[in-house]
Structure 1
Amino acid sequence: MSSTPKSKTLEKGLFGMALPIFGEFSLNMSVPVLDALFLSQVSDQAAASVGAVMPWFSMAIVFFAATGIAGASLASQYMGKQNYSRANLILAGLVILSLITGLLCGLFFLSQAGNIGRWMSLPNNMHAMATEYLIIAGSAIGFMGLRMTLANICNSYGQSHWNTISAAVMLVSNVIGNGVLVLGWFGATPLGVTGVAIASLIAWVLSLSFNLFVVILLIKVRLPLLEAIKQPSKTLTPILKIAVPSALEPFSYQSFVMVMNLMIVQLGEAAITIRIYALNIYVYCTMLLIALGVANTMLVTQLAGAGKFEECHQQMRQGLRWGLSAVAVVASLIYLFHQALLEIFTDNPEVLGLGVIVCLIHSINEPCRAVNIISGNVLRGCGDAIYVTGNAIAVTWLFSVPLAYLLGIYWGLGLYAILLAGVLDEFIRSQINWRRWKSDKWKRKLAPD
């Protein structure tokens, strides 16, 4: 590819970018959903045990995602300035960071897999199954992280459709792997939770290989890795200035989810099981919002880099309108058919009985998440990550966590009260982010020329 290509991101627009990103994310998130489905064939306990420790797994994914979006947003700003050599230097730094963080995360899971279940206060049988999964899938999570980095490079160059194909490769190989290793297709010996973890590992490696082929041989992105190592102040430092606070905010949120799960575990096996299954069926709302958020961020940051601030505001309003409209439709459909969707995972009447109110609360929560995700992503992409993160952490840990404990545990109002505290958390943070965007103070945080 030429060193100064015309921006395909702005040519494609919101839907041209968002649809393949949504396809990619939907396929990506179908992997844990299918894992939960295969695990439910082993037992509800197997599905709940792995689901209960998934927030730990998600925190690693969150950091990969935050780093990737930070690097891609910076690169997009320089592309908006027509400075493609600097953009590629940033992307090279992004690859280096991905390799380092992937190694560190893998070492953490390998060394702490046996302790995480205990930290979550899981019963002994659930703790053993969670440990099996984390030893294999957790130690190899760096493959997933590098794949996400390469996907963000494709997004920066307006080539997000390749990520959809890569995600399809991952999904198909995961299904086949689970069929063989969990259900015993072709006469194989079923391996239970271990089989699910091995199937995920194989799927990540195949998908990563495809992304490497695309970035290096098809898009032909020139990544000056040696130059990036020699100039950390121009590569690693700018990414980390956005990525670290950007990662802290979702890291804080995932920690909040973990604390909520820890509270819910105390309410009994049915409560934590419906919590995990509800998260699995509403994950597509989240993926839709993240896809729109990433696409909107790529567009806004390129416009901001070019100094077209009125167009930035128009693009932000378009992203929010479509985000709210889309999530309202999807969340309503999920709630309408929630009983049938839950029955895919379980036939436990106690779990299904809790699903009516749990799914209603999730549906109410999604519009708040829409404003929070879309506005927060753009603010972080424009360099205003510290403000977004500081407020998010303050709201979550000074208000939402104490409220969830008081309502759900101390006053004994139970599962529904804990989940409603999560709704209030999303609502307050969404309003803070939206008001910050309208203030225009984020303009002072844009990358220098």
Structure 2
Amino acid sequence: MALANKKLSLWMLAWPIFIELFLQFLLGAADTLMVSRISDDAVAVVGFSNQLFQALTTLFITVASGAGILIAQKIGSRNGEDARTIAIMAVNVSAVIGLALSVLLILMPEQIAALLQLPEDLLPLAKTYISIVGGGMVLIALMSALSTSIRNTGNTKGPMYTAIGMNVVHVVLNYAFIFGAFGFPKWGLMGVAISTVVCRLLATIVLFIMFLSSFERTIGLRDLNVFNRKLFGEVIRIGWPLGVNMSCWVFTQLLIFSFLAMLGSNELAARTYMNTLESFCFLLGYSIALAVQIQIAHLFGAGRVKEAYGLAYRAMWIGLGVVTVNAFIIFLFGKQLLGMFTENKGIVALGVSLLGMNLILQPGKMINMALGNALNAVGDTRFTMWTSVFSMWLVATALAYWVGIELGWGLIGIYACMILDEYIRGTLSLIRWKGQKFLRKAERIEDEAKAKASSENNGGALHKKTAMEV
């Protein structure tokens, strides 16, 4: 697959990713809206549990993320066979890790929730939800590896269509289990958990079938045991900093949720509702950031580094315009939107305050996403890792605890520290990308390879000429 193909233009890559993410957003919004009909406590449990699940996904996202970047680079350099091998290994390793996490969450849901400071009155609900949805972590692991592999071949539409089907099934099953419709039992939060696992199982099956034919040579069942130590080493080399980066984000978010749990269930529910609205703001921007990562990785693999450099800025400016407009729309209609989820005036008031601050947050997040993903695409993953370790832990977490809990600024203080974290990481990524360290290195390697090839060709020609003269 060549980058010159119009199918790999920024927009053609981005819009299916956006549809997929938007449908996942609708899935989360439908979850939150439907679960809010059970109780605000149920919403708090779902929001808290989802942070836990995201934290645990970092254990296999290392492999999936590293594999995705390498798949795009290998295809860009026209080495499809290596890309195929990398994808198979990513799926296998992710499945093993996901299975281990599933067993852990089935056996110890209540203990884990208590350890993370969830209020005691919410523990019975958490036990039900975490054990069922957490028991399906192996499905999340497989979906992550499969969709990442498929998407980085340039096929962003396949995961999109899967997401459409997954959303339809999930919403229907949610409605059935929560309200006892269509002859289904009225199982409340347990029904929501079962619905989540069922639709993920169906999506995994569809993605696996799609995965088998995603490369030039079809993957057979016998091929699934393939393992190449050298290529896996490359995956880990790129992937482990991404895993640390992601783990910094999800574990700091998990800690922030535990801080909110200290403040009370209203703050916890308000942040959960805000997560839903906030997601809408940056969906298209994040889609552009993911698309430009694929495109830059293809260009970088093909040795077209100057094109790769300019694309990051183009994606950043387009994304900034999009997220700013979206944040403003959400701000204007925030009170009415929050009113759809809850009648608790205290929760609505907290949410409205955060929506004003969200206008400041989103541009910083977009700069960070676009340029951070660009750095990852060229293999500069250690830099994004170190900026995350520094800023997320010191600013988004330690400073947030001091300002929000110790100084008593509450949810507003914690959110202000999250904003500061995004701008620090975004600024550092901008400075790094301008330095072009990895791009210059790639140009030198390309020039040396060309010089060596030219020298060998000239040497061969001279040898041939000498032999003819003799």
Identify whether the pair has TM-score above 0.5, normalized to the shorter chain: yes
Cα offset, 1:310, TM superposition:
1.1
The whole-number CA distance in structure 2 between the counterparts of 1:141 and 1:302 is 31
Task: Note if contact 2:178-2:192 (Cα within 8 Å) is conserved in structure 1.
Answer: yes
Aligned to 1:390: 386
Q: Pick from 303, 308, 311 the counterpart of residue 312 of structure 1.
A: 308
2:163 is the alignment partner of 1:167: yes
Q: Do the aligned residues in 2 keep the contact of 1:9 with 1:298 (CA within 8 Å)?
A: no
- 2:284 counterpart of 1:284: no
Alpha-carbon distance in structure 1 between the residues aligned to 2:59 and 2:286:
15
Look up the equivalent residue of 2:162 and give its one-letter code.
S
SS at the partner of 1:109?
Answer: helix
Give 2:329's aligned amino acid. Answer: L
Q: Secondary structure at the match of 2:218?
A: coil
Q: Contact conserved, 1:292 with 1:323, CA < 8 A, in 2?
A: yes
Whole-Å separation in 2 of the counterparts to 1:86 and 1:218: 13
TM-score by length of 1: 0.93
Aligned residue identity for 1:279? N
- Check whether the contact 1:7–1:158 (CA below 8 A) recurs between aligned residues: no
Whole-Å separation in 1 of the counterparts to 2:385 and 2:10: 25
Q: Which amino acid aligns with 1:164?
A: M
In the other structure, the counterpart of 2:265 is: 269
Measure, in 1, the Cα distance between the counterparts of 2:203 and 2:385: 31
Coordinate RMSD, CA, aligned: 2.3
| Structure 2 residue 52 is the aligned partner of structure 1 residue 56 | yes
Change (3 A) 1:225 1:390: farther
Do the aligned partners of 2:67 and 2:235 also contact (CA within 8 Å) in 1? yes
Q: Matches of residues 106-121 of structure 1 in structure 2 within 5 Å? A: 106-121=102-117
- Which has the larger displacement, 175-184 or 355-364? 355-364
- What is the aligned partner in structure 2 of residue 178 from structure 1? 174
State the Cα distance separating 1:217 from its structure 2 match: 4.9
Matches for 1:316-331 after TM superposition, within 5 Å: 316-331=312-327
2:351 counterpart residue number: 355
Q: Percent identity?
A: 26
In the alignment, what sits opposite 1:373?
369
Structure 2 partner of 1:336: 332
Q: Deviations over 1:84-119 (max 9, x none)?
A: 112212212222222122212212322331222212
Worse overlay, 353-362 or 65-74:
65-74
1:436 maps to: 432
Aligned counterpart, 1:203: 199
Comparing 377-386 with 201-210, which one deviates more in the overlay?
A: 377-386
Point out the structure with max Rg over C-alpha.
2
Alignment of 1:207-226 (within 5 A): 207-217=203-213, 222-223=218-219
Q: 2:64 is matched with which residue? A: 68
Verify the 8 A CA contact 2:98 2:137 in the aligned structure 1.
yes
- The answer as to whether partners of 2:55 and 2:254 remain within 8 angstroms in 1 is no
SS of residue in 1 equivalent to 2:121: helix
Provide the rounded CA distance (Å) in 1 between the counterparts of 2:28 and 2:438: 36
Cα separation, 2, equivalents of 1:156 and 1:147: 14
What is the aligned length? 445
SS in 1 for 2:36: helix
Q: Once the 2 structures are TM-superposed, how far is the Cα of residue 205 of structure 1 from its aligned partner?
A: 1.1
Q: Distance in 1 between matches of 2:226 and 2:162?
A: 32
The answer to which of 183-192 and 398-407 deviates more is 398-407
Taking the aligned partners of 1:92 and 1:8, their CA distance within structure 2 comes to 26
Unaligned runs of 5+ in 2: 450-470
Describe the superposition over 1:317-338 as per-residue Cα deviations: whole angstroms up to 9, x where unpaired. 1111111111111111111111
Question: What code does the residue aligned with 2:196 have?
Answer: S
1:215/1:118 CA distance change after superposition, 3 Å: same
2:80 to 76, 79, 84: 84
Instruction: Report the 3-state secondary structure (helix = DSSP H, G, I; strand = E; otherwise coil) of the residue aligned with 1:312.
Output: helix
Q: How many angstroms apart in 2 are the aligned matches of 1:101 and 1:243?
A: 15
For structure 1, the 5+ residue unaligned runs are none
Deviation at 1:290, TM superposition (A): 2.7
Listed as ranges, the matches of 1:230-309 within 5 Å are 231-309=227-305
Superposed CA deviations along residues 108-144 of structure 1, whole A, max 9, x for unmatched, are 3223312222123222331111121110111112112
Could you tell me how far apart the structure 1 residues matched to 2:177 and 2:223 are? 44
2: CA distance between counterparts of 1:224 and 1:444? 40
